[in-house]
Structure 1
Amino acid sequence: MASPSKDLLPGRGDIYSALQAGPSGSARRPAEKSPTVLSEAALKFAEESVDVDTAISTVVISGFARVIEFLLIALSGLAIQLVYVYPNEGFPAIYPIAILCGATLSVMGFQSIDIYSPHALRTIVRQNSKLLVAWVGVFALMALIAFFLKMGDSFSRVWLALWFSIGLAILLAFRVGLAMLVRHWTRTGRLERRAVVVGGGEPAAQLIRALEASNDTDIRICGVFDDRSDDRSPAVIAGYPKLGNIDQLVEFARRTRIDLLIVSLPISAEQRVLSLMEKLWVLPVDIRMSAHTNKLRFRPRSYSYIGDVPFIDVFDRPITDWDYVVKWVFDRFLGLLLLIAALPVMALVAIAIKLDSRGPVLFRQKRYGFNNELIEVFKFRSMYVDQCDATAAKLVTRGDPRVTRVGRFIRKTSLDELPQLFNVMRGELSLVGPRPHALQAKAADQLYDSVVVSYFARHRVKPGITGWAQINGWRGETDTPEKIQRRVECDLYYIENWSVLFDLYILAMTPIALLRKKEHAY
């Protein structure tokens, strides 16, 4: 596949082009910025302890609950058949068929009475009483089907009674344990979405009151951010403090976990909304625009809802819910296999480095990871120990005297990257993703984020050992602005089009790309 052209870049159609160009519609490069200072209130909130870096998805929890309950029902029925029926009747196939039908009808019944919702999973008495009703209904339906099919005598009544009672006891025990676990996760913040309201004044106050009036939401509002002065946007809005302006919001989201940005501006404020999106879309968060006060109404399917409040989806955080689980399993399982397979090669490289020059075998370098977090990436040392460049302030060029003889070979073949499999197992890197860049990496003597407007948008996902940019030839030296521009374009295309098959394709093409494009790596 060829690298994407600019009209194939990710985003939402024309809004992406607009964000690239800026609110004025003319292409530009960012000016040098001084570090953003947070307000005292924002700093205090950002320093609050958060149990984990990312929230646990309620979609995944309810999905696992369905799978576990299906297995509990099926296994309990099968176990009772083996203990009670098998000694006398052997293993009639009609029992497993009935067990699978019963487990399927049960999960469908539980779904129909809405006991997989986040609110239901937190309760004990209410969800268990509804579960009991559904369980009785399922067995009554199965008995009715057996009666009409004249198959009632084919089943042991004792087996049916035992399956009903033991299966119910197991389900109730599981639900109690799950409710206690969900309550714990709720208390520690793992099951809440930490939200920020963007835009102040009365529209923000109406939005907050509407969210608070909704019966079942997983939202915790952290505060309000608005560029306007206090006379138009007061310091406290519906009981929540204004924590700063939009530039400070970006820094705030880098320091603490934010899952959702809620824009309270009207759709008609097009230029202001576009100006906000230009700054905010680089963050790994969901961005929703409030629609509950808009006079312009769309079809119901055009909205998403938080509680009873309608929103328009602007941007989604990439690789979430089940996609996150799939990629996590993919990285750990395949990463372990690749690490085991690479150990002999890594041992030979380590010996060669030791014989070639003094110093440690491994080189640690701080790089930007997910959401601009600093991570320490492992590499085989390819430079003389007294000339290693920990921040990559100076690009490695052809014939660079800092690079050792072994270093030239392992850099051209990318063998120096193999220790990053340890970063994958530690959860800091993915196998496939945008390559992590060093802190002072430059293109034509300019920092990357000074060259590319959308540079930080590539940090919305976890970085990887290889990526779409690398197999399309954009690896190695970035001595011109175009090279880093094209690399970022490929990274953004990957983020918007991620799939397991895409990852497998990139992994399969990486060795071919390394052989084809050696001239770019020094």
Structure 2
Amino acid sequence: MPGEIKGLAERYPAQLMVPIIDVLSIVLGGAVAHVWRFGNLQLPERFVLAMAIMALLVVIFNTVLGGYSRWRVTRVSTLLGRLLLVWMMVALMAMSTIYLADAAQRYSRLWVGVTLLVSFIIAASARVTAQLVLRGVRLRGMARRSVFLIGPGHHLVNVAKGMRASPGEGYSIAGVERLSGMPDQACVTRLSKRVNDSGASEVWICVPLEMGSVVRTIFHALRNHTAEVRFIPDFKDMHLLNHRVSEVVGHYSIDLSVTPMDGMARVIKRIEDILLGVFISILILPICVMIVLAIKLTSPGPVLFKQYRTGANGKQFKVYKFRSMEVHHEEGGRLTQATPGDPRVTKVGAFLRRTSLDELPQFYNVLQGRMSIVGPRPHALAHNEHYKELVESYMRRHKVKPGITGWAQVNGLRGETDTLEKMEKRVEYDLWYIDNWSLWLDLRIIILTVFKGFISKNAY
């Protein structure tokens, strides 16, 4: 039985089956929508053509966004987030086409909407069901891929711990070869035989970068084996950011620190900022008017506080806030963070800072394209100069646009950073966000901000 399940998964991988399921979901959704809207299954040719175009767009967008790749190791939430984005893009294109072509009389917009809704439910249900079934099968020891591990003992232990921590990915150890240095010919010959006898589906070469020459030796020794070979380098204490393998000028590159906001991700992030930024700006307009009046009536000075901050890729920009302090000047260009009972903070300002309402003008920064709704909070320039030498990888938080709210803030890390440990923790959360960015994660942070991120005991 285990062999049968494994063979089935290899003959019909997700990259082949899932697009077929998506196409069938559009067809079934169109049929259900037609019965619901018109009371019959006799779809006109123009409706069949519309379904074919929607199915084609679904497959293309899913392919571009990686919806059919890394199926074995991708979380269900990530799969569903990508799927929702794809269906929204198709819906936008379908409705825009009908409107621009003035084809509302020939194509029922209600039919299109119901088709996409039903097909999304079918496609999403199929993904969840498939992942749950495959995970259950793998947890019972079936449909697993056997792996032969090669490398220094301490690194192999870390890789093995990773396997045990992710049983749903379906990997098991078929054999281990511990290396203490460069293997001699006898070791290489023995290694080749052991891999062959183990029957492993994959061989993972797990060595630190300084032992890179070992990879070539072992790879050459396994040239006559059919097992898949992977190189899993040990980066030790290096703090990686969005690391991946890419191709540059015809050469493979192990990217150690790159921005995730590239290509389609950059477009998606900007669309998210524009749509949500416009919507939220309209909602908060009455609140902003009341805040402006409160500031003008209670303290002299400008309504807005403007200050230069560091944005994406280290470029400076001017950030806007509602003024929460009395107008003052600090000697020597110093910048002193607000503290509990700070006499510079006005009564209205204290309320604004405690509730984060002083940040509302930054939605204008978002519409300008200099900030995002979600991202690492921008720090003052003086703070960047102070902490960049004290906190490892501090400046890597500027790989993306700064945000009005962020992963650190919804986890309680907002307000004064009066100790090095607090700043280290905030940077740790910021880098985790950059390394794990997704549209789904942004929406989660926004929701968490609404429910628990506005008010903080650490904001003075």
TM-score (ref. length: structure 1): 0.43
Q: With a CA cutoff of 8 Å and minimum separation of 6, indicate the structure with the bigger relative contact order.
A: 1
Q: Please give the TM-score of this superposition, normalised by the length of structure 2.
A: 0.49
